[in-house]
Structure 1
């Protein structure tokens, strides 16, 4: 069984839908939760968890939503990366928990953590665990029990972690009636009735159930990436007639998003600051030009309340880049990048200096 190494990152594979309103190439009606029946494109994305960095994105038609359309891009990305620098774990939702994806990861020796669909055999496992298994605390009110399961079509039995959490509040049930108004009903939970919500995870991790549950809960941060990229960086705001240019734009947008995120981390190394906060702080300012005695002076002032602190960080960053520029002749472009990344990601590296990975192709 491949072992999990916390010193390397976690790669999240996920997809998001971009609704289209014109006659773009690849605009097909598929799964579209926000605008059912509207044509769309699917953005298959591969992101480094917590760092909120996009490693790659593939734009495909609205019908190509399933993970089988994401998997070729994932393995193509990993094959371009030296094996020693692969992520410690790949993570995905229940669409990723297929025999093809799990078998490919097992063959490559790459640990995975996927959510499992609730098939009939999976439900039977839940029933068996509910009745007779020992449940342990899994954090945030969840309990966990684990077993092994081999579903029809699986090549082997795999580790399953079942999570459950008791619902203690009274419930409101909404019934959607296509031929009439929405109907509401109320369910009061008595002392002799216990209701659980539950989910099922399949993994090759050798961690205890509590850590496995927390690793999957951390995946929710991927939705924040999509929200920021679509609402503040343009993934949801441009259209092209052909899908090739749309793919270029999606990757260019992701690249600029990464650059800005790293630049902001130089100023705020302790957290990721979204564009809605970082742009007013670091971009918006008032400029005034004055001329006196043959001299022209440009004065820039920021109305932001944190402008004083930001000015100190800018001065510190200017000194860092000045020092880097003075030694740049002795460093390659990749070595310069490693210096910058070591400083921007100091929260995760704890002062460790990054070095260029071995096995990269020689620059042209």
Structure 2
């Protein structure tokens, strides 16, 4: 008898499962915030200015639809073209909020568009348009007058037969084919240049041309100093920086002949428990290096700092000294700052590693690729230079998060983009109702919406507007 009553009670408490044809999405934050952000900056007109391959067919959804569909997919956690299919249930909400007649529903529509960028000339035109119509106005708006310029490269493992995917340095997947792009950053977190390269390219390959092009892209910004990792330790690059009168701090590989010099150093300055710094002058025998330069050494005792960065010296791996310390080596043309100050100048470069991780894991930089090398560069350049910078701007200027590391896209996604929402009506007006019950979070969203209303960044101005500005 008691068992029967328990079963009856349990049946009454069960929740019924039904279906609804109403427009519902779990990405209400993307629909509400990012759509207003794009509308405010006139992103549709910007896309028409930037992308050299336009579509005029009556059956086409248009370039703006394809770019917005890709960006929505990335913002909502997509890491490959096929993830655009996940938008299906809430696609009508995105079409209404982003004011697009028809968003792309099949990933093949997007890949067909990017596969039109099969020529280097098209990709170069795209890059120049991004710089002229997007990057320079953005940097001008945020008011960057002085900043550090940072260079780094990353390895993107490939598993197919993509053009340019070759075997090279690949620490995580040795022997696998890869691409080896290099990226330029400002210390403020904005990406300012992107080149894709084949997997067998050395980190420093093309760096002088890449640096020269980047300087042209950010003309008007004073370069405080140039920071780069050990892959960019090359005489050609260093001499170019010296010719241009720029201060630099570049990491140096721990070659064995340099290990011997470090091992014989007798003067060390203690800067913290288990951390000492020293310096020496060194000139390569190869005349192409052109004379002595200043080298800074940082050694960290493993016993006190088990997670210390740097490398143990292979030349002395069997000695206690080689087992007790990790070393980092820097070269600089700054002859006035102390070794500890030089190290402090270089340490913020580690933020670049965090940005690259965010690009690869959060923005899907490691997964979006096509068979054509130039098509792959076009889509990665778009994600890296446009979407990443838009998100960086949104975080800094709209959300008002100005810490050095900033929010990663995954954090932004969970805090602001993943919000249940349902599309309804208020008279004749469509209304997107966000499912937020917490009053503090409601107030936070209201503040962000208010700041979007006051945003003055606009990338596109027609002739009349230009006359009014002048």
Contact preservation (8 Å) 2:182, 2:203: no
Contact preservation (8 Å) 1:280, 1:304: no
Contact preservation (8 Å) 1:138, 1:213: no
Q: Which residue is equivalent to 1:341?
A: none
Distance 1:27 1:59 in 2: 11
Unpaired runs of 5+ residues, structure 2, are 1-143, 307-317
Distance 1:295 1:90 in 2: 53
Contact preservation (8 Å) 1:230, 1:236: yes
Distance 1:79 1:294 in 2: 51
Q: Which piece of structure 1 moves more, 277-286 or 12-21?
A: 277-286
Distance 1:47 1:194 in 2: 35
Q: Which residue is equivalent to 1:264?
A: 395
Q: 1:27 aligns with which of 151, 154, 165?
A: 165
Question: How far off its partner does 1:17 sit?
Answer: 0.8
Question: How far off its partner does 1:303 sit?
Answer: 6.3
Q: Which piece of structure 1 moves more, 109-118 or 280-289?
A: 280-289
Q: Which residue is equivalent to 1:60?
A: 197
Q: Which residue is equivalent to 1:354?
A: none
Q: Which residue is equivalent to 1:9?
A: 147
TM-score (norm: length of structure 1): 0.74
Larger Rg: 2
Q: Which residue is equivalent to 1:313?
A: 447
Question: How far off its partner does 1:128 sit?
Answer: 2.9
Q: Which residue is equivalent to 1:352?
A: none
Question: How far off its partner does 1:264 sit?
Answer: 1.7
Higher relative contact order (CA 8 A, sep 6+): 2
Counting only pairs closer than 5 Å after superposition, residues 168-207 of structure 1 correspond to structure 2 as 168=303, 195-205=324-334, 206-207=336-337
Question: How far off its partner does 1:195 sit?
Answer: 2.2
Question: How far off its partner does 1:15 sit?
Answer: 0.7
Question: How far off its partner does 1:117 sit?
Answer: 2.2
Distance 2:232 2:298 in 1: 18
Closer/same/farther in 2, CA of residues 310 and 80 from structure 1, 3 Å limit: same
Q: 1:92 aligns with which of 219, 228, 246?
A: 228
2:190 pairs with 1:46: no
Q: 1:130-153: per-residue Cα shift (whole Å, max 9, x none)?
A: xx32x2234574211122111222
Q: 2:410 aligns with which of 276, 288, 295?
A: 276
Unpaired runs of 5+ residues, structure 1, are 1-5, 172-186, 336-364
Contact preservation (8 Å) 1:121, 1:151: no
Counting only pairs closer than 5 Å after superposition, residues 65-144 of structure 1 correspond to structure 2 as 65-82=202-219, 84-129=220-265, 132-133=266-267, 135-139=268-272, 141-144=274-277
Closer/same/farther in 2, CA of residues 141 and 292 from structure 1, 3 Å limit: same
Distance 1:118 1:292 in 2: 67
Closer/same/farther in 2, CA of residues 207 and 36 from structure 1, 3 Å limit: same
Closer/same/farther in 2, CA of residues 219 and 304 from structure 1, 3 Å limit: farther
CA RMSD of aligned residues (A): 3.2
Q: Which residue is equivalent to 2:302?
A: 167
Q: 1:205-242: per-residue Cα shift (whole Å, max 9, x none)?
A: 23221111122222222111111111110211212111
Q: Could you say which structure has the higher strand fraction?
A: 1
Distance 1:80 1:291 in 2: 47
Closer/same/farther in 2, CA of residues 245 and 95 from structure 1, 3 Å limit: same
Question: How far off its partner does 1:297 sit?
Answer: 4.4
What secondary structure is seen at the aligned counterpart in 2 of 1:60? coil
Closer/same/farther in 2, CA of residues 124 and 267 from structure 1, 3 Å limit: same
Q: Which residue is equivalent to 1:214?
A: 344
Distance 1:324 1:223 in 2: 29
Residues paired across the two proteins, number: 303
Distance 2:181 2:322 in 1: 43
Contact preservation (8 Å) 2:295, 2:329: yes
Closer/same/farther in 2, CA of residues 308 and 116 from structure 1, 3 Å limit: same
Question: How far off its partner does 1:316 sit?
Answer: 3.3
Distance 1:210 1:170 in 2: 17
Closer/same/farther in 2, CA of residues 25 and 211 from structure 1, 3 Å limit: same
Q: Could you say which structure has the higher helix fraction?
A: 2
Closer/same/farther in 2, CA of residues 241 and 91 from structure 1, 3 Å limit: same
Question: How far off its partner does 1:332 sit?
Answer: 5.9
Distance 1:295 1:315 in 2: 18
Q: 1:302 aligns with which of 428, 436, 442?
A: 436
Closer/same/farther in 2, CA of residues 251 and 102 from structure 1, 3 Å limit: same
